[in-house]
Structure 1
Amino acid sequence: MKVDQKKHSVIIKDTQGDFTSFLMKVTHQYKTFEKDNIVIDLLAHNDLTISDIKQLMPLSKQHKKAKKSFVIVVADFDYNAIPEQLTVVPSLLEAHDIIEMEEIERDLGF
């Protein structure tokens, strides 16, 4: 697992290639990242299913309750099949754009 701090966000990237162990690490170390916006970089995974992505929902809900952004980056995926509660985008650039928009919305009181 690789963690990069960018401005007001943390990018967490899986370097092992094992989604299940990555999810466990992120969950156990969540307290370390809870004050920042989180980007989960899963670009290295080509075999993820919708049920894999849905496993991130509890973390996403918890993070969004704390008024922080939680964005998952996955390439080549059926984004229409993903529940509305999850924010999933195809690139890191889009993830940063989403975070900026959500920051503006929070500043405006939405």
Structure 2
Amino acid sequence: MKVDQKGHTVTIKDTQGDFTSFLMKVTHQYKTYEKHNIIIDLSYHNDLTINDIKLFSPLSKQHKKAKKSFIIVISDFDYNAIPDALTVVPSLLEAHDIIEMEEIERDLGF
């Protein structure tokens, strides 16, 4: 697991290729990152299912209640099958763009 912090955003990247252990690490270390916007980079994985992605729903809901962004990056996926509660994008650039837009919305009171 690789963690990069830039400003108010933390990017967590799975470098091991073991999705289950990565999810457990992120969940157990959540308190460390809860004050930042979070980008979960799963672009290393090519075989994830919609059910795998849905496992991040509880963390996403908790993080969005705290008025922070929670975005998952996965490059090749059926984005129409993803529930509305999750924000999933194909690249890190798009993830940073969405965080920027969401921060502007929060600043404006939306």
TM-score by length of 2: 0.99
d(CA) in 2 for partners of 1:85, 1:27: 17
Is 1:9 matched up with 2:9? yes
* 1:2 alignment partner AA: K
Give structure 1 stretches of 5+ with no counterpart.
none
Following superposition, the deviation at residue 7 of structure 1 comes to 1.6
d(CA) in 2 for partners of 1:25, 1:63: 16
Is 1:55 matched up with 2:59? no
d(CA) in 2 for partners of 1:76, 1:28: 27
Alpha-carbon RMSD: 0.3
TM-score by length of 1: 0.99
**Alignment size in residue pairs:** 110
Identity of aligned residues (%): 85
Listed as ranges, the matches of 1:1-110 within 5 Å are: 1-110=1-110
> Counterpart of 1:84 in 2: which secondary structure?
coil
Following superposition, the deviation at residue 4 of structure 1 comes to 0.1
Q: Which runs of 4+ in 1 moved over 6 A?
A: none
d(CA) in 2 for partners of 1:49, 1:25: 19
Give structure 2 stretches of 5+ with no counterpart.
none
d(CA) in 2 for partners of 1:31, 1:70: 14
Following superposition, the deviation at residue 43 of structure 1 comes to 0.4
Instruction: Summarize deviations over 1:48-95 as a string: whole Å, max 9, x none.
Output: 000000000000000000000000000110000000000000000000
d(CA) in 1 for partners of 2:76, 2:21: 22
Following superposition, the deviation at residue 6 of structure 1 comes to 1.2
